[in-house]
Structure 1
Amino acid sequence: MVKGGVGKRIVIGAGLQVASRMVTRCIDLVALVVLAHLLSPADFGLVAIAMSVVMIVEAIMEMPLGLALVALPVRHESHYETVFTLQLMRGLILASILIASTWPLSHFYGDDRLIGLVCALAIAPMSRGMASPKMIEFSLKLNFLPSAIVEVSGKVVAFALSVSWAWMTNSYWALPIATIAGPVVMLIVSYILAPYWPRISLRRWSSFSSYVGWSALGQTIRSIMWQMDPLLLGRLVGQSELGGFSMAANIASLPSQIFVEQTNNPLVVAFSRLRDDVPRLRAAYLKSAASIAAFGLPIMVGLALTAGPLVSLVFGEKWQALPPVLQGLAVAVLPSFLTAPFAALAIAVESPRAITRVVVIEFIVRLPIVLFGAMHFGVIGVVIARIVVAIIVLCIVSASVATLIGLGPMRQLLAFWRQIMSVAVMAAFVWSMQWMLDQGGSHMLAAIRFGALVLSSAAVYAASLFALWHLSGKPDGLESYIRGFIVRSVP
């Protein structure tokens, strides 16, 4: 993306971020599977309602101060003091709002258990915001290993505590324990790796005000959009159906959390270095988008095609209503991989309002569609609404990228032709081999057949992708980087 040693370090950094997130999300997935066997769908539904409220309030109070620090040309100690002070204020206000919301929430849903759940869950967003601001210095040096250590540490402890609690008690409290323990441990480890003695100061507020204002508005609307689904369904369907939707949404979001969210920070660094060189910035955007799509698209398509056998094999009979919901949500996530670097691009070119503009338009489009789907068709209606909105948002973001850096929508789409064709070949292969999964036999045989199909499908996709890359003249991109890495690794 960027020439020379810096470009290599950015690629390595992004790879490390993705690898660490992959490890943590594998831990999350294992935890979900274990907890799905120990708890009921209704337990997941109850916690989903509480989590939705916490996430909305957290998003309203969200301040992307870390990314703002990265974008600053010069950083002083007073910048870090201002960041810490703003995060402390945010945490106190956030906790107050959540505690005040507990009684009306429990009354609205007719469940007093929500009072204790929301109060306890408030600890998680407070802890997330209070991490050492000095951690950002590692990112500025393109060293993302400490961030990986922080995240993995939190996930390992959260996994151990939540699974142990569920095993001993079969209580729904295992779910909030996992949500709380992770951020608390990450908070502690961040100060171990990046020591910082906090001081209260707002001297540099002006350096962050534009980011806080526009980002807060965008984050608020975005969170309301995504959390209104479980909140609506919590009133319209039973907790078991809501639990199934929540489980499917968690699974479908894992690839995006791995390949999109974790590349955001390295991409902000990379794009910031190129913002005065628009041709190279366009090329970097296209390469990064194509690289993310190369990983995300086959995973989501594979998930959609094998949702039934996967749920039966991993989650068991009490989750039998999950497959169609999971299939639909997997399809709904697909378009987001085609515009994954957009947020990093907008921040790098100092245009956070572009993100907010997209989110506002999405909200206006999404609200009536989701309301109609939820009220008339329940869970499936919400799933279909998400697919429709995702396609509309793809068009909106493509137009925004064209405005920011003069990269037309058609040129953006053509950057993915090898990935899309390779996914189509893989999908045809998976479809033709579905008979493998219907042969009966023991659970172990079913798992072996499923694993064989996954591995062979991945091989078909990779072979198709590299064949198309070779036929198109071996252009610079992910394939050339992987080939170079393999060549350098072979003695």
Structure 2
Amino acid sequence: MTVRLIGTASTLFLARLLTPADFGLVAVAMSVVGLCQASTEFGFDLALIRDSNASEADYATAWTADLLRGTILAVLLLLVAKPLATFLNDTRLVALLSTLSVIPILEGLYNPRFVDFDKRMQFRPFFILMVAVKIIGFMVTVGLALAWRSYWALIFGIIVSNVARLLLSYVLIPYRPRFTLSSWRKLMGFSGWLAGAQLMGAMGSRLDNVILKKLLTAHGVGIFSVSRDLTSMAFQEITLPLRRVLFPALSRLTTASDAFRHAYFVGVSALFMILAPIGLGLALVARDAVPILLGGQWQDAVYPIQWFSLMAGFWAITAMAQSAAMSAGQTRMIFRRNLLYFPIRITIFILGADYYGLMGAVVCSLIADVFLGILNLTMMNRILGTTVLQHVRAFERSLGALLAMALCVATVQRLIPAGTDLITHGFRLAAATGVGLLVYPAVHLLLWRVSGRPAGAEQRIIDLLARRRNNKLTSAQ
């Protein structure tokens, strides 16, 4: 929650200081960097987590391979900077990509031993790392934005964040790396198909901003990328810690066991229970939230934010399916899924953006997300021997609470006349948010009690809150 709040605050501050075109230009450059990184990601960290007997040579091989990969990518970015800038008709990309070429090297130097915390189910160091990096990045980026009012503030903020992440990884768990590739074949046994899946997945999502820059303008890219980033921020900051818990936990269980299925359904229902109301709530209040939080220059972001927000539930399924499939060692199945998903997504996205502009790109990307959700359900049913109905039943109480929340929020919004001034927007936003925060958990808890208090996500959350309360009482005494 802390990390998400810092990230959201950073985006909101910067949106006031910079323009959509600034964000769009940086989004294009970062998409190119991200595409290069994600499409060559080996996933050795996951292989190390899954192997409880990983040797020192395994860690050293992972570090060496990542550093070599980062160095090659840095050179590649320097080589493609000018041709890509010419293709996209924007010479500013040459300097941006040349500067950002340092990022793959910084990430290649990252401490491979940090995954030991995941193995031991110790997540406090990861929390410390995330919060510290977010705070440092926030301070540097906002400070530079105030001084320069330029997109370069975003660029140097990204680089400083990566430097901080690298240094903290060695502070939190000391490690002296050495060069070797002796365990290459062993690590690739798990990561080979995963690397192929990463390539397909990266091509399916990272190309969006590059395509939009060619078909639209930097302003349109900025609206698209910030809208998607704001709506996915909660998804990323909530699912990443949960996946770090789920992957090592599931890796210890037998795939066909009832314990594995139960852990998966508890995880996916908990994630849906948290993400879906955030997404639906943001969609309902976007008209009032955007003028207050982002400013008048971002008015075009209202509809994209509403559409992207509605996909939070599908993102929950995607996140949990990925972790469960990797825990089961089904990386080949993930590759096949992405191989089917990638060409369909790219095709409909280009058609939507070319024929219908920004909103065409938004709607078509959501259609692709629905398709990916269906593929994930199919994949999990094959791995776990479950059915679509079992997945729906895992969400039934959340769906009922979402319906009640939507009806109540819509009623409140109809009772308060809309306006164009910030005071009216603020009053409507506060009223709708307050009603949503009250109605959703109340109805969810009621439906859980009516259902006989099953041992699901609700019980886990209640137990967690009870333990935290008892710990505080014990500490106070």
TM-score by length of 2: 0.94
Deviates more, 1:93-102 or 1:23-32: 23-32
Matched, 1:451 2:430: yes
Aligned AA for 1:352?
A: T
Question: For structure 1, which segment, 386-395 or 83-92, has the greater mean C-alpha deviation from structure 2 after superposition?
Answer: 386-395
Alignment CA distance shift 1:226-1:436 (3 Å) = farther
In 2, the alpha carbon distance for the partners of 1:445 and 1:367 equals 41
Q: CA deviation at 1:29?
A: 1.4
- 1:23 CA displacement: 2.0
Which sections of structure 1, spanning at least 5 residues, go unmatched?
1-21
2:46 alignment counterpart: 67
Q: CA distance change for structure 1 residues 339 and 111 in 2, over 3 Å: closer, same or farther?
A: closer
Alpha-carbon shift at residue 58 of structure 1 (Å): 0.8
**Cα separation, 1, equivalents of 2:189 and 2:147:** 49
In the alignment, does 2:161 pair up with 1:161? no
* Partner residue, 1:398: 377
In the alignment, is residue 47 of structure 1 matched against residue 26 of structure 2? yes
Q: Which residue of 2 aligns with 1:8?
A: none
- How many equivalent pairs are there? 470
Q: Take 2:267 and 2:116, find their aligned partners in 1: how far apart are those partners?
A: 23
CA distance in 1, matches of 2:255, 2:36: 37
Kept after mapping to 2: 8 A contact 1:309/1:437: no
Distance 2:218 2:45 in 1: 37
DSSP 3-state at the match of 2:454: coil
| Residues 45, 483 of structure 1: alpha-carbon distance in 2 compared, 3 angstrom cutoff | closer
Which of 97, 108, 132 is the aligned partner of 1:118? 97
Alignment partner for residue 209 of structure 1, among 181, 188, 191? 188
In the alignment, structure 1 residue 92 sits paired with structure 2 residue 85: no
What is the match of residue 321 of structure 2? 342
Counterpart selection for 1:136 from 102, 109, 115? 115
Give 1:285 deviation, angstroms.
0.8
Distance in 2 separating the partners of 1:362 and 1:368: 10
Cα offset for 1:272? 1.1
Give, in whole Å, the separation in 1 of the partners of 2:73 and 2:133.
22
Shift in CA distance, 355/255, structure 1 to aligned 2, threshold 3 Å: same
- State the match for 1:255 in structure 2: 234
Other-structure match for 1:265: 244
Corresponding residue for residue 473 of structure 1: 452
2:209 corresponds to which residue? Answer: 230
**Gaps spanning 5+ residues in structure 2: where?**
none
CA distance in structure 2 between the partners assigned to 1:123 and 1:155 by the alignment:
19
Per the alignment, residue 292 of structure 1 pairs with 271
Distance 1:137 1:454, change over 3 A: same
Query: Paired residue for 2:220?
Result: 241
Equivalent in the alignment of 2:403: 424
Instruction: Show the counterpart of 1:329.
Output: 308
Q: Is the 8 A contact 1:436 1:449 kept in 2?
A: no
Return the letter of the residue paired with 1:63: F
Q: Deviations over 1:304-350 (max 9, x none)?
A: 11111110111111111110111112223431223431111111111
Which one-letter code corresponds to 2:146 in the other structure? W
- Counterpart residue number, 2:9: 30
**1:484: how far off?**
3.0
Post-superposition offset of 1:204: 1.3
Q: Secondary structure at the match of 1:350?
A: coil
Describe the shift of the 1:335–1:169 C-alpha distance in structure 2 as closer, same or farther (beyond 3 A): same
* 1:30-67 superposed Cα distances (whole Å, 9 cap, x missing partner): 11111111111111111111111111101122121111
Once structures 1 and 2 are overlaid, which stretch shifts more, 275-284 or 393-402?
A: 275-284
Q: 1:371 aligns with which of 350, 368, 371?
A: 350
What is the CA deviation profile of residues 394-435 of structure 1, one whole-angstrom value per residue up to 9, with x for unaligned ones? Answer: 221111111112112221221111111111111111111114
Is contact 2:413–2:428 with CA below 8 Å preserved after alignment? no
CA deviation profile, 1:422-473 (whole Å, cap 9, x unmatched): 1111111111111466465974674355234213312210011111110111
Cα deviation, residue 221, structure 1: 1.5
Match of 1:301 in 2: 280
| Corresponding residue SS for 2:311 | helix
Q: Indicate conservation of the 8 Å contact 2:137/2:161, yes or no.
A: yes
| Structure 2 Cα separation of the partners of residues 371 and 385 of structure 1 | 9
Structure 1 residues 218-273: Cα deviation after superposition (integer angstroms, max 9, x where no partner): 11221121122211111111211221111101111112102223322211111111
Matched-pair contact (CA < 8 Å) for 2:100–2:159: yes
The alignment partner of 1:181 has SS state of helix
Counterparts of 1:152 and 1:56 in 2: how far apart (Å)?
A: 25
Tell me the distance in 2 between the aligned counterparts of 1:390 and 1:402: 18
RMSD, matched Cα = 1.8
The answer (yes or no) to whether the contact 2:107–2:162 under 8 Å persists in 1 is yes
What residue in structure 1 maps to residue 35 of structure 2?
A: 56
2:60 is matched with which residue: 81, 105, 108? 81
Counterpart residue identity of residue 329, structure 1: F
The DSSP-based 3-state class of the residue aligned with 1:171 is coil
Corresponding residue for residue 151 of structure 2: 172
CA–CA distance in structure 2, aligned partners of residues 87 and 150 of structure 1: 20
Contact 1:332 1:386 in 2 (8 A): no
Contact 2:291/2:422 (CA < 8 Å) preserved in 1?
Answer: no
Contact 2:75–2:101 at 8 Å: present in 1 too? no
With over 3 angstroms needed to count, the CA separation of the structure-2 counterparts of 1:80 and 1:428, relative to structure 1, is: same
Following superposition, the deviation at residue 198 of structure 1 comes to 1.0
CA distance in 2, matches of 1:314, 1:396: 36
